[in-house]
Each structure stands twice: as structure tokens, then as C-alpha cells.
């Protein structure tokens, strides 16, 4: 029986790490794609209607928190070194992400307080206060703007990984079915 040498063990560990990172990236791409589609639905209540808007808003909380869990190590590391010498784009991204979090929570909370369909369907009713309606509108509009900046800042990662994990997969499926993509 042949034993693996140190370089073979290191190479195997490196391959395992690379596969793990690729799997994590694949999951993140699909999760983020779902979150993006959900956010488009949520941020267009005029197109979907209030009922779909409210229920989709509750559902979007799941991929939002999963996105945070996947980014948690980055959040912790960047928080630790925020006041140390840090590249400007990393610091800007960190502040922008906190704005995203704050706006998401504000829009969600104010949306719950002014719910016209979802909570009344569950037997929970609030008197709709114009203050909370204004907070909801402002935070949702700012959220759209900050999401746009967030997407622009991460566009290279998005384009690379969507091509790698989504479009490549669609091409493989089409080829397997004999369809010309």
C-alpha cells in the first residue's frame, strides 16, 4: 500500500478547498439570483399588486438573511480592520452594506406596520399612519438606489459567476436535450 507524500496531501487539501469555494460560489449565485428576482417583485408593488408585494416582502427575508450568513466572515473581518489601513473601496462597500441593511430593516418594519393585505389576512390589523407610509416610501426608494450601487460595485463578480454557474448550466442542459442555445 502506497502512502501519500506531503505534496500530494497538500494538493488534495488544496483541491478540496477549491471545490468548497466553487460550491459556495455556486450556492451564492443562485441565492443572490433568487433574492434579486424577489427584490424586483417586492420593489414594484404597482406591477404586482399590494397582496403579492406584501407576501413577497415576507419571503425575501429568507434569502436576505442567508446572504448575510454567507457574507458573515467578510463582515467580521472588515469590521475588525475598519479603522486600520483599509482600501477605500472596501471601506465604502462596508458602509454601503450597512446602509443596505438599515434600509432593508426600515422598509420591512414600516411595511409591516402599514400592511393592507398580509397581516389583515392573518387577523392582525393596524391603523395605517401616514408617518409610517412616508418612512416606508422613503426607505424603499433609497433601498432601490443603494441596491443599484451595490450591484454595480459587485458587477464583475456577478457577471463572472453567473456566466460560470448559470449560463454554463443552461447551455449544458440545452445541449443534453439537443436544443441549440
pLDDT value at 180 more than 60:
no
Locate the DSSP E strands across the chain.
Answer: none
Is the distance from CB of 38 to CB of 59 less than 8 angstroms? Answer: yes
Q: Is residue 20 part of a domain?
A: no
Task: Give per-residue pLDDT as tens, 18-74.
Answer: 666 777 888 888 888 888 888 888 888 888 899 999 999 999 999 999 999 988 998
CA dist., res. 31 & res. 71, Å (int): 12
| Alpha-carbon distance values, 61 to 25, 85, 113, 164 (Å) | 20, 34, 16, 27
| Cβ atoms within 10 Å of 106's Cβ, excluding its own | 17
Q: Is residue 1 part of a domain?
A: no
Q: Is residue 18 part of a domain?
A: no
Q: Is the pTM of this model over 0.95?
A: no
Q: Is residue 82 part of a domain?
A: yes
Could you tell me the residue range of the domain that residue 55 belongs to? 26-158
- Which of 36-50, 61-75, 121-135, 159-173 comes out lowest in average pLDDT? 159-173
Q: Is residue 124 part of a domain?
A: yes
Which DSSP state fits 83?
T
Q: How many domains does the chain have?
A: 1
**416610501: which residue's cell?**
137
Q: Is residue 176 part of a domain?
A: no
Amino acid at each position: 500500500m502506497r502512502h501519500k507524500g506531503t505534496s500530494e496531501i497538500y494538493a488534495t487539501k488544496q483541491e478540496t478547498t477549491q471545490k468548497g469555494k466553487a460550491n459556495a460560489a455556486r450556492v451564492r449565485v443562485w441565492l443572490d439570483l433568487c433574492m434579486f428576482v424577489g427584490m424586483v417583485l417586492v420593489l414594484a408593488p404597482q406591477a404586482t399588486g399590494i397582496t403579492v408585494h406584501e407576501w413577497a416582502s415576507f419571503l425575501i427575508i429568507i434569502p436576505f438573511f442567508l446572504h448575510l450568513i454567507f457574507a458573515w466572515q467578510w463582515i467580521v473581518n472588515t469590521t475588525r480592520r475598519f479603522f486600520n489601513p483599509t482600501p477605500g473601496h472596501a471601506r465604502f462597500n462596508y458602509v454601503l452594506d450597512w446602509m443596505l441593511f438599515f434600509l432593508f430593516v426600515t422598509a420591512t418594519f414600516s411595511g409591516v406596520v402599514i400592511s393592507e393585505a398580509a397581516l389583515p389576512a392573518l387577523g392582525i390589523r393596524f391603523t395605517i399612519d401616514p408617518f409610517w407610509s412616508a418612512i416606508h416610501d422613503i426607505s424603499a426608494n433609497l433601498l432601490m438606489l443603494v441596491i443599484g450601487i451595490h450591484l454595480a460595485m459587485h458587477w464583475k463578480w456577478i457577471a463572472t459567476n453567473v456566466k460560470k454557474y448559470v449560463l454554463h448550466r443552461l447551455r449544458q442542459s440545452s445541449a443534453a436535450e439537443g436544443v441549440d442555445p
